Chain A
Amino acid sequence: MPPKVPPGQELNREDDSTFKNMMKNYEAKQYKKALKLVDQVLKNNPNHAESLAMKGLVQSNLPNYNKTEAYDLVKLALSKHLKSLICWHVYGLLHRSNQNYTEAIKCYKQALKIEDNNVAILRDLAMLQTHMRDLASLTETRQKLLETKASSKVNWQMFAFAHHLQGNHDTALAILDTYEKIMGLPDTKYDASEFLLYRILIKFESGDYEGTLKLFNLYRNQIVDWDYTWLTCAECYEKLGMKEKAIETYMKLIDLNAEDNESIDALMLVIADPDKISAQYKKLRELYPKSQTIQKMEVDHSTGDEFRELATAFIKPYIVKGIPSLGSAVKSFYQTPEKSEIIGAILHGVEKEALDKETVFGVPTDKMTIVWIWTVLAHHHMRLGAPDTAAEYAEKAIEHTPTLDALYSLKAKVLKKQGKLEEAADMADTARKMDLADRFLNTECAKYMLRCNKFEEAAKIFNVFTYKPLHETWSNILDMQVMWYETELGDCLYRLGDIENSLKKYLLIDHHFKDINEDQFYFHHYISHRHNPRSYLGLLRFMDTAKNHRFYCNAAKRVVRCYLDIHKLGKEEVQKRIDEGFQHSDAEREKLLTKEQREKDKEFEVTVNYDEPLQAASKPFLAELLKYRGTELDTQLLAIELHTAMNKPVRALQNVKQALSLPGASSSAELKRLTVAFFEAVASVENQVIGDLLKTEKDAILSKFTC
């Protein structure tokens, strides 16, 4: 029951209808009209709180709005009518549009105190709580929504969903059961299948594998997604130890798609025994002779003479047909020195036959065959760490057929491996010029330019495909979230000694990931109406671990490195090292932008934290790295260095131990150096307990090194 309206807040009939009209316009996104109408009401009723609040909200949807002004209006409104539902709702919406989600939630909760079953507010609140992953509160909100409107299917589904997210599998299932009894299954076959599969998913995640299998059987005539079905059944069989059934099911999946490497991997994991695996691969190859994946995986698995035989069979069609991508296709065959030698023998043998007899594997060569043989030999020698030999092959190929851009790309790569970065960039440019419509050659060239620090040249080249003027290229890169370019540019600036600007580039990647996270917000409302909770679940879980992506982790490592440098050198020194050339060209670029473009670019502004560089590096960057790349030596090295600098000896010690447990770590000179530095830094630690702990650990740890 809404409370009594305070004095001065009532509108006469005319103004009331204007207000209602204004609300309609707002909902129809007619903001200019809404603004006019609300000003009308305010002219007669300058203290009408709800109009003041709505004015602020409407303004926030118009371009060039003043954020402070909008907030001031809303706060003023609340001061006049503290118990207004609309005012609190508006305040919440304003916070939401500025991404202050915690504040927004507080406002919505206030609104709910006034009217605890307002559906609009509850729905918005649910969206926010999902976005913030406040699952317990979300469940409460969903329950309230359901109690308010039990006839809405969505409310039932989302209530179950909330419980599922929290891990209350049985509750979620019970809710869905009740829902089905009351509402029946969805109308279309696909929706019904999704509903049932969602139930099965919850059952599976609850750990009841037998129950899951029973449900699959029960619903088998209504399910349409067999890919998911077989996959989950196979996992159930595995967990229940029903090996044969698991194998049978994976074979069904492979029958659906003979290139499904995940299913093939899973199948071989179940079989476990290497000889039996070889036999299974043979069987698969016979069943699905056209499957490249199966053939490749079989070669990967084999060793010795079997490997020689299978690798030869794999390579043969590439050579006979003259397929350029053989160099990449055989990448995985270099797992061991033994295998690398075998491949080398095969390839050199092929070359000899082609040159001596003009045949390959007994098949007559055509005029171009030798070019691709030399290409794969170049790749081969690069992989063996012999780029000079690779260069010879690349040269031979180019002399033979100088009109193939792929050969110049190859030469560029070889030059890069030889460390001749400027020549490599020139060669990449030669390749690019040979097909100006090829975007891959273009961006490869831009990358090579950045690698030899030619950032202006790189921008010019990258610009060709943006179809915008040169000075807008950087804005385009920001807008399109071209993270590889930003990272490479950062690396370039770091090499030039400019820590501040390089750090700013790396921080952009973090900014983009924030934006990507924000983008999911409107899905919370949209997806709940689409009857595919499994997709929604996938989205939420993906966003939860999005930072696992290599773009983020690569940038994070660099951010930590930069902040460590800042800590060591101090702000003044770092700013002295700013690259004048870059700064100048950047300033020139900005001059040419319009006011609007500059405003847009401001959205991507990042700040370097000079006051607390180590804290800034630690959270979130090192934290995320330890979460996703904790088993990489690089990560642990950064962690040791950072925790030593932050004076956190226990943490650093932990990192040292974790690092030493990684393969190859005990021969790492860098690890030893950091460990010694760590022990030196904590030699005079105040805390007696820690001091003693370190003393006991020191000798044991240092003795583990083999370098």
Chain B
Amino acid sequence: MAQEKAEKKEESTANGTEEAAEVAKKLPKNVTLSRIEKHRVEVLRVLIHATIPLAYPPRFYKMIHTQGNDWSWLAHYNNALVGAICCRFEEQNDDRMYIMILGVLEAYRRIGIASSLLRRAIKQAVETPVVKSIALHVMVTNDLAIDFYKKHGFSAIERTPKYYTNLNQDAYLLSHLTS
């Protein structure tokens, strides 16, 4: 099963348009993806607050807005927002697409929403020539997250000691090449 998935992934990285069909096919039942809407930023804030143990200041949401909608996606279950992925393009870090947030409401986990969101982001990164990789930081003790990203083709390329200063934790930089 894992091998099939890996093979499929190699195919899709080669041909971006097939990826779209793949993404659509693999969406869990009742789930749709969409872009961020200006008049519903508050809902996104509520989602992030409920799924991620870090506080994000208001300028973070302003930035989400102004980045244009190219780097963030929302996942809806029957019209309710249940998951989101928010990325930003970092020229200063070797042209990578950096995942700032990926979260899904607890009641809606384990049905493939996070995977769908991540796949969508990867697809965008692959289709954007200037983007050389897609990356994020995770706590070294977060096995669940590390396994999840590894399944999607990420690997740890760096370890930063005490990256999470408040929690006194080291971080891995997980990365997935896209060009």
Contact = CB atoms under 8 A, between A and B. Distances in A.
Interface residues of B, number: 18
A583 interface: no
A433 B80 CA distance: 15
Given A367-B77, A401-B105, A435 B43 contact: yes
A404 interface: yes
A412 to B, nearest CB: 15
Nearest to A404: B80
Interface of B: 29-30, 39-40, 42-43, 46-47, 50, 77-78, 80-82, 105, 107-108, 111
B39 A366 contact: no
Contacts of A435: 39-40, 43
Contacts of A366: 29-30, 78
22 contacts: A322-B78, A366-B30, A366-B78, A367-B77, A368-B80, A371-B80, A400-B107, A401-B82, A401-B105, A401-B108, A402-B47, A403-B43, A403-B80, A403-B105, A404-B80, A433-B42, A434-B40, A434-B43, A435-B39, A435-B40, A435-B43, A436-B42
Contacts of B78: 322, 366, 368
A433 B58 CA distance: 14
Contacts of B80: 368, 371, 401, 403-404
A39 B30 CA distance: 77
A488 B120 CA distance: 49
Contacts of B82: 401, 403
B46 A436 contact: no
Most chain-A CB neighbours within 10 Å: which of B80, B82, B111? B80
A472 interface: no
B72 to A, nearest CB: 15
Contacts of A405: 43
Nearest to B108: A367
Interface string A631-665: 00000000000000000000000000000000000
A402 B39 contact: no
B29 A402 contact: no
Contact of B30 (A367, A403, A437): A367
Contacts of B29: 366
Closest 9 CB pairs of A and B: A436-B39, A437-B39, A403-B81, A433-B42, A434-B43, A400-B107, A402-B50, A404-B80, A434-B42
Contacts of B46: 402-403, 434
Most chain-A CB neighbours within 10 Å: which of B39, B40, B78? B78
Contacts of A436: 39-40, 42
Nearest to A432: B42
Most chain-B CB neighbours within 10 Å: which of A366, A368, A401? A401
A437 B41 CA distance: 11
Interface residues of A, number: 16
A402 B46 CA distance: 7
Contacts of A434: 40, 42-43, 46
A368 B40 CA distance: 20
Most chain-B CB neighbours within 10 Å: which of A367, A368, A402, A434? A367
A437 B37 CA distance: 10
A367 B47 CA distance: 16
Nearest to A401: B80
Most chain-A CB neighbours within 10 Å: which of B42, B81, B82? B42
A322 B107 CA distance: 16
A427 to B, nearest CB: 13
Most chain-A CB neighbours within 10 Å: which of B46, B81, B108? B46
Contacts of B105: 400-403
Given A433-B42, A436-B39, 19 more contacts: A366-B78, A367-B30, A367-B111, A368-B30, A368-B77, A368-B80, A371-B80, A401-B80, A401-B105, A401-B107, A402-B46, A403-B43, A403-B46, A403-B50, A403-B81, A403-B82, A434-B42, A435-B40, A437-B39
B22 to A, nearest CB: 23
A462 B50 CA distance: 29
A645 B105 CA distance: 63
Contacts of B50: 402-403
Contacts of A433: 42
Interface string A410-440: 0000000000000000000000011111000
Contacts of A371: 80
A405 B45 CA distance: 13
Given A403-B47, A403-B81, A367 B39 contact: no
B51 to A, nearest CB: 10
Nearest to A372: B78
A402 B43 CA distance: 8
A364 B47 CA distance: 26
Contacts of A368: 30, 77-78, 80
Interface in A283-321: none
Most chain-B CB neighbours within 10 Å: which of A366, A371, A402, A405? A402
B88 to A, nearest CB: 22
Contacts of B107: 367, 400-401
Contacts of A404: 80
A482 B107 CA distance: 42
